[in-house]
Structures are given as structure tokens and as C-alpha cells.
Amino acid sequence: MNKHTTIDKSTGEKKCSCFKRCGGCQLDKVYAQQIEWKQAKADRMLSRFCRPQQIITMDDPYNYRNKVQTVYKVNSSKRIVSGVYQSSTHSMVITDDCFLEDIRAQQIVATLKELMADFRILPYNEESDQGLLKHTIIRTSQTTGEVMLVLVTATPIFPAKKNFVKAITEKHPYITTIVQNVNKGRVPLTLGDRDIIMYGKGYITDEMCGCKFRISPHSFYQVNPEQTEKLYSKAVSCAELKKGDRVIDAYCGTGTIGLIAAKSGADVAGVELNAEAVKDAVSNAKLNKLDNIRFYNEDAGEFMTKLAQAGESCDTVFLDPPRAGTTEEFVEALGKLRPEKIVYVSCKIETLERDLKLLAKIGYKAQLIQPVDMFPHTTGIENVVLLKRKMISLTPNRTPDKKGDKKIERKGKTSHR
């Protein structure tokens, strides 16, 4: 075992000797100092739009990642070792005890290395294009206790498969499903198109904000369940949805925010370009027995533009785009549809700042900014922003009359419904 995590006696907090080599963490500070740094950054970058609220913190900012990806190799002593790729490289950093990862996942990885040696399963070597196991993904649920192990292999042939499955499930009976994913490509840390269920049902279920979510090997799902619950609860509550409100969940992924919104009684349309994510979203709607949400495999901007052209209206739009943020085309589509409220969930503060400027140009003003510490020990800051369409004052040319020269002011409507 390559133990790199220690306890700092002066602070009682965890320290990692891989900090400079790995890149998974970017802040080597005690947690209180991390929060001060993030709050100051949010205030500095976003206060021009609306003063940010106090950042929502974690009670225990360690071992929170419910998705753990691990790579393997044979070292100079002919032993199988495991770790992670250094940020933006193919250079492997050997570690067994990352303090961001779920502890059950670390225990499974330790057993996997022993079984690989016993069953003569070699890690895949990218240079020689030899070996079987490319990497593993372990996904865990804190609410249901279910655990999924994904073995990403170079070929579908898995030696002594039944005995291998029996050995690892006997050692870790909390594993509820094992999936072999076949990836014949050369790009690291990616999944192939073919899944072979080796054990269990091929997916796990998690619960959040009163909804159930099915998580497959390919599903996008937030990696910090404790903070995700706080993030999504804030996003939906600040929208103040009423039964029958018309809602669009743009960039909906597997439908998490949209399903939580639908549970409040709103009529929701989830829009997502990734077809696999839409399949998961449809399954999640059925799992939660919600018939007031529909999913569309389309570009969200084009979807909203079509609605506007057809004379349709919308009360609230949720958007949770990738780190690159949204696009000018999407903002233009928002301007055509003119929802009363926009709830922007952002995972990168730099692109959020840029997009809030674009949204201001089409008449939306930030009413609330709530930072959330989704990724302790990193520089990432998640934010929920509530924006409302501004009341527009129109002052036409004035015509004097016998009663005097009076200003005539007409305020724009706040809703198209």
C-alpha cells in the first residue's frame, strides 16, 4: 500500500504528499481557509451582478467522490500498482488512499490488484497495445448503499470470469453489480459502446431530493452527493415553482433538476443533446412515476427558438451547462422565448461571469447568487443564480396638451401567459 494521506497534528486535518504531483487537488490549505479564498473569489467576480450569499460548505470535506476512476500498471518490481493520471497528462501518480475518494472504492481497488495477479490479468499498456484492463470505475450510493464496479477492458474476453466475480464479491459483498465495458480505442479513461453485465442488474440507484435516480456506467451524475442535494434544492426552491408552471430544463443530462422540479407539480420539458443521457432521463421519470415531464433529444437553443416561433411561452428555464458555459446562440434563444425567470447552475465561475453579462444584455438581472462548495480542495466553485426579466420602461415621444406636458410611461408585461 502506498499511503500518502497523513493527519496534520496542528490542525487535525488531512494532508496528502501527492499534492504537487497529482493535480487532483489545487488548494493545499485548511478547509476554513479554502472557504475564505472561494468566498473572496465569488465576491470579486460576481458582485457587480448581485452580492453573493455566504458559500454553502461541507460538514466533512473528505472522501466525498462517489465516482472513482483508477488506472493500473506493472512497476519495475513486476507488481501491479494503481493510481490516477496526473492532470492533463498520461503520467500515472501511484496512490492507494486519495482523501477525495469513497473509502469503499479504495478497498475494492486494493482487492482488484491482488486478484489481477492471481488470475494473471495484465493492465493495458497504451504504448504496446497489450494487456486487458484499461481502467476501472467504481460508483457508490450513500443513500441506498449500492456499489457498481465497471471493468474497462481492451477485448470482450475475460479469463475465468465467473471465478473472478465470485472472488471479489465474497471479499466485498456490498458490490451490487459488476459491468465489463469493452473499449477497443486508444484514448485513456473513456468508455466503449459495449457493456457486458457480469453480476447484478447493470446499474445502481441513488436517492436525492425525494427522487430516485438510475445510474449506469455511462450516466452523468454529480460526484458529491451531499453538496448536490444542497445545490439542487436551492436551485428549485429559489424558482418558487407553482403547480402548472411551464418549465424547461436545458442541458438536462439524466434529468436530475427537471425531475425535482416536476415533483413540485410543474410541467417540465427536459432538453439534452446526448441521446444516452436522454434514455437515462426517461428511465428516471418512470422510476419516479412522474407523468408531468417529457424529454427531448435536441439542441436546447433550437428547441426554445421553435417554441418562441410557435407562440409558446415558458415561466422558468433551468440551465446547467458544462464547464464551457452556455453559448451566444442559446442566450439569443432565451431572448426570443423570454421566460420570466432563469435559474443558472454553473460549475465554472469564469464562464458564469461571461454568461451573466450576455444575459444582462437581453434584459435579465441577477436576484440571488448562491455559491456552493461542491469540490473541496479544488479551486472549483459551483453557483446557483436566480435571474428575473427586468420591467422595461418605454417612454414614447411626448405630445403637449392643454393640461401640460406630462410623461407617459408604460411598463412591459412580466409574463406572456
SS3 303: helix
For residue 412, what pLDDT is reported? 34
**Which segments of the chain belong to CATH 3.40.50.150?**
31-59+224-393
Q: What is the DSSP letter of 373?
A: -
Exposure letters 130-140 (e unless 16+ CB within 10 A, then b): ebbbbbbbbbb
List C-alpha distances in Å: 172 to 112, 140, 169. Answer: 11, 13, 5
Annotated binding residues for S-adenosyl-L-methionine: 222, 251, 272, 320
Cell numbers linked to 307: 417554441
Tell me if residue 347 is catalytic.
yes
Q: Check if the beta carbon of residue 135 is closer than 8 Å to that of residue 70.
A: yes
pLDDT at residue 44 greater than cutoff 90: yes
| In 4-128, alpha helices (H) | 19-22, 31-46, 103-118
CB-based contacts of 137, cutoff 8 Å, min separation 6 = 67, 68, 69, 148, 149, 150, 152, 191, 217
Average the pLDDT over each of 86-100, 207-221, 315-329 and give the range with the smallest value: 86-100
Which helix (H) or strand (E) covers residue 296, if one does? Answer: strand 293-296
Of 22, 209, 211, 347, the active-site residue reads: 347
Annotated binding residues: 222, 251, 272, 320
Instruction: Tell me the average pLDDT across 109-118.
Output: 97
Average the pLDDT over each of 11-15, 19-23, 173-177, 279-283 and give the range with the smallest value: 19-23
CA distance linking residue 248 with residue 255, whole number of Å = 11
Confidence of residue 155 (pLDDT cuts 50, 70, 90): very high
Q: Check if the beta carbon of residue 101 is closer than 8 Å to that of residue 84.
A: no
For residue 401, what pLDDT is reported? 45
Q: Is 324 exposed, middle or buried (0-12, 13-18, 19+ CB in 10 A)?
A: exposed
For residue 392, what pLDDT is reported? 56
List C-alpha distances in Å: 141 to 57, 111, 175. Answer: 20, 20, 11
Instruction: Tell me the average pLDDT across 233-251.
Output: 97
Q: Check if the beta carbon of residue 252 is closer than 8 Å to that of residue 281.
A: yes
Strand 293-296 and strand 267-271: the pairing is parallel
pLDDT at residue 60 greater than cutoff 80: yes
For residue 186, what pLDDT is reported? 81
Question: Maximum distance among all alpha carbons in the chain?
Answer: 100
For residue 393, what pLDDT is reported? 46
Architecture of the domain spanning 31-59+224-393: 3-Layer(aba) Sandwich (3.40)
Q: Check if the beta carbon of residue 389 is closer than 8 Å to that of residue 339.
A: yes
For residue 397, what pLDDT is reported? 47
pLDDT at residue 83 greater than cutoff 50: yes
CA distance linking residue 114 with residue 137, whole number of Å = 17
For 282-294, write each residue's pLDDT tens digit. 999 999 999 999 9
**Which segments of the chain belong to CATH 2.40.50.1070?**
65-205
CA distance linking residue 384 with residue 185, whole number of Å = 37
Instruction: Tell me the average pLDDT across 229-245.
Output: 97
Exposure letters 94-112 (e unless 16+ CB within 10 A, then b): bbbbbbbbbebbbebbeeb
Q: Check if the beta carbon of residue 387 is closer than 8 Å to that of residue 367.
A: yes
Q: Is 285 exposed, middle or buried (0-12, 13-18, 19+ CB in 10 A)?
A: buried
Q: How many residues does the chain have?
A: 417
Q: Does domain 65-205 have CATH number 3.40.640.10?
A: no
CA distance linking residue 128 with residue 50, whole number of Å = 54
Instruction: Tell me the average pLDDT across 309-332.
Output: 94
Neighbours of 32 (CB within 10 A): 11
pLDDT at residue 187 greater than cutoff 90: no
- What is the separation of C-alpha 92 from the centre of its chain, rounded to a whole number of angstroms? 25
187 vs 62, higher pLDDT: 62
